[in-house]
A and B are shown apart, each in its own frame.
Chain A
Amino acid sequence: MSVFLMGLAVKTILVVSVCMLIVAYLTLAERKLMGYVQLRHGPNRVGYWGILQPIADGIKAFMKEEVIPANADKKVFIIAPIVSIAAPMLLLAVIPFGDTVTLFGREYTLYLSNPDIGILFVLGISTLGSYGNMLGGWSSGNKYGYIGGVRSTAMMISYELSMAFAVICVVLVSGSLSLVEIVHSQAGVWNIFKAPVALLIFIISGLAELNRTPFDMPEAEAELCTGYNVEYSSMKFALFFFGEYTHLFIFGCLVTTLFLGGWHGPLLPGVIWFFLKTFAVIFFCIWQRATFPRLRWDFVMKLEWKFLLPLAIVNVLVTGFVMAVV
């Protein structure tokens, strides 16, 4: 028993530290990629090729003065960034990074846990991340923050729907709610070929959930001067930032798990395949951010309610029909 607990503790520490390191470097990756798209170099002064930039950013965030506005709701103001980083970090527990490996005669699973309702857990917790944005904007006593928070809420309740329908499609195709089972069912054909429309819907609504650029309504720099986190400074701001990038990483993992066959792939070991696919998805997210301009607020809502949601429902119906007939 104690060996089991030890193994679990080591695994947890390993997963969290590796993933947090990756997330820290996602900030650098984003700035570098955007830089090269815009014919610039991006950060390249701290360390060779800017490799120490995330560390420098972290130190800087720690050194900054902490400001809590006088008319802020203090308790909520402090809780909000914690919520926004805690929710995506919880999701690390159910991401299946790889299959079982045998070390020193014992079998280890390369995921922390495998609940039977894995995908429901993911949907539930990932929504909590938006609560962080919402509470942060609402509690900071600033009109821009408030508008950012309101928009965050509106995005959450609308895009969550089409995302859930896309997931239902995957569940129909794979026949299980457990993430590990979903990956196992893709051993032959990946879900991207079985449910391409669901992938499209999932990616679009995922980008909206992530507040990435075509849909970055809650923090529209040009109109709201970064929206919900406008009053935040120092490490609290960094936590919001970090939470957003953790969400991006989790999103990459989810797309890989649900659609791109998880750890399945020829030649290379499973974990490497998993991370390769995840990075490909994250690269796409950054690439499209460097390409597309922000949508207007009413267009964002129109896209969801008039196009994405009906499409997702029809998609589920058609998939169900095909599954029943075949």
Chain B
Amino acid sequence: MKDKDIINVRKRQGEKEKYVRPLLKGLAHTMKKFWSKPKTIQYPDQKREVSQRWRGLHELTRNEEGELKCVACGLCASICPARCIDVTPYEEEGGIRYPKEFEIDESRCIFCGFCQEACPKEAIKLTRIYDFVNFSRDECRFDIEKLSDSKKHRFKQKKGKYEHLLG
């Protein structure tokens, strides 16, 4: 805020009797604001652009062959301060490890991003999705399938049949 934005109704005790000019000033100010554009973001229709470094819903990334990059080392699970990651490793003969089950409880996650930092394989990352909704706590437990397609969980407003008539 700049100095000129502040409306001083009473500067000194000697100026106490000045009533009319500050009132007119106030009226002019609100009139100016009346003609300027509203700052509102109309949420479901219009979404706020979040920062590139925003930490939102997790995603399990895949390599070119479409396999999960995760090797089920469990580093993310052990660093997680909220203890909301559950990894069950599975090892094939020949040393290929992959997670049999991988679950994140998004209702307990604090979105600190440590899992992403700890992962040696860049297999888990936090997307910029912030508006995913679920109806129960069980649904907040995201398994491999849900985590590999995070975009799907973005909240979309369902329009009713006649809603377009109402604007």
Within the complex, the shortest CB–CB distance from A196 to chain B, in Å, comes to 14
Tally the A-B contacts, defined by beta carbons under 8 Å: 45
Interface: B38 (CB within 8 A):
yes
Q: A35-B38, A36-B38, A39-B36 are in contact. Are A44 and B30 (CB under 8 A)?
A: no
Within the complex, the shortest CB–CB distance from B3 to chain A, in Å, comes to 21
- Bound: A158/B123 CA distance, A: 76
Residues on A with beta carbons closer than 8 Å to the beta carbon of B27:
287-288, 291
- Bound: A38/B23 CA distance, A: 17
Interface: A321 (CB within 8 A):
no
- Bound: A283/B109 CA distance, A: 51
Residues on A with beta carbons closer than 8 Å to the beta carbon of B33:
36-39
> Within the complex, which residue of A37, A45, A49, A52 is in contact with B30, where a contact is CB–CB below 8 Å?
A37
Interface: A33 (CB within 8 A):
yes
Task: Please tell me if the beta carbons of B30 and A291 are within 8 angstroms of each other in the complex.
Answer: yes
> Within the complex, which residue of A33, A37, A47 is in contact with B167, where a contact is CB–CB below 8 Å?
A47
Interface: A4 (CB within 8 A):
no
Within the complex, the shortest CB–CB distance from A52 to chain B, in Å, comes to 7
Q: A47-B166, A48-B167 are in contact. Are A33 and B29 (CB under 8 A)?
A: no
Interface: A60 (CB within 8 A):
no
Task: Please tell me if the beta carbons of A41 and B40 are within 8 angstroms of each other in the complex.
Answer: yes
> Within the complex, which residue of B31, B36, B38, B166 is in contact with A41, where a contact is CB–CB below 8 Å?
B38
Chain B, range 12-57, C-beta contacts under 8 Å to A? 23, 26-27, 29-31, 33-34, 36-40, 42
| Of listed B23, B27, B34, residue having the most chain A CB within 10 A | B34
Count residues of A near B (Cβ-Cβ below 8 Å): 20
Task: Please tell me if the beta carbons of A287 and B30 are within 8 angstroms of each other in the complex.
Answer: yes
- Bound: A288/B27 CA distance, A: 7
Within the complex, the shortest CB–CB distance from A110 to chain B, in Å, comes to 32
Task: Please tell me if the beta carbons of B40 and A40 are within 8 angstroms of each other in the complex.
Answer: yes
Interface: A104 (CB within 8 A):
no
Hey, what's the 0/1 contact readout for B147-158 against A, CB within 8 Å counting as 1?
000000000000
Task: Please tell me if the beta carbons of A44 and B36 are within 8 angstroms of each other in the complex.
Answer: no
B23's nearest neighbour on chain A, judged by CB, is A292
Task: Please tell me if the beta carbons of B167 and A36 are within 8 angstroms of each other in the complex.
Answer: no
Interface: A46 (CB within 8 A):
yes
Interface: A290 (CB within 8 A):
yes
Task: Please tell me if the beta carbons of A292 and B26 are within 8 angstroms of each other in the complex.
Answer: yes
Task: Please tell me if the beta carbons of B166 and A52 are within 8 angstroms of each other in the complex.
Answer: yes
Task: Please tell me if the beta carbons of A291 and B26 are within 8 angstroms of each other in the complex.
Answer: yes
- Bound: A46/B37 CA distance, A: 21
Hey, what's the 0/1 contact readout for A289-323 against B, CB within 8 Å counting as 1?
01110000000000000000000000000000000
Residues on A with beta carbons closer than 8 Å to the beta carbon of B34:
33, 36-37, 287, 290
- Bound: A288/B23 CA distance, A: 9
Within the complex, the shortest CB–CB distance from B30 to chain A, in Å, comes to 4
Within the complex, the shortest CB–CB distance from B7 to chain A, in Å, comes to 10
User: 4 closest A-B pairs (Cβ-Cβ)?
Assistant: A48-B167, A291-B30, A39-B39, A291-B26
Q: 11 A-B contacts, Cβ less than 8 Å apart? A: A36-B34, A36-B38, A38-B33, A40-B38, A40-B39, A41-B40, A41-B42, A46-B167, A47-B167, A48-B167, A52-B166
Binding site for A on B (CB under 8 A): 23, 26-27, 29-31, 33-34, 36-40, 42, 166-167
Binding site for B on A (CB under 8 A): 33, 35-41, 44-49, 52, 287-288, 290-292
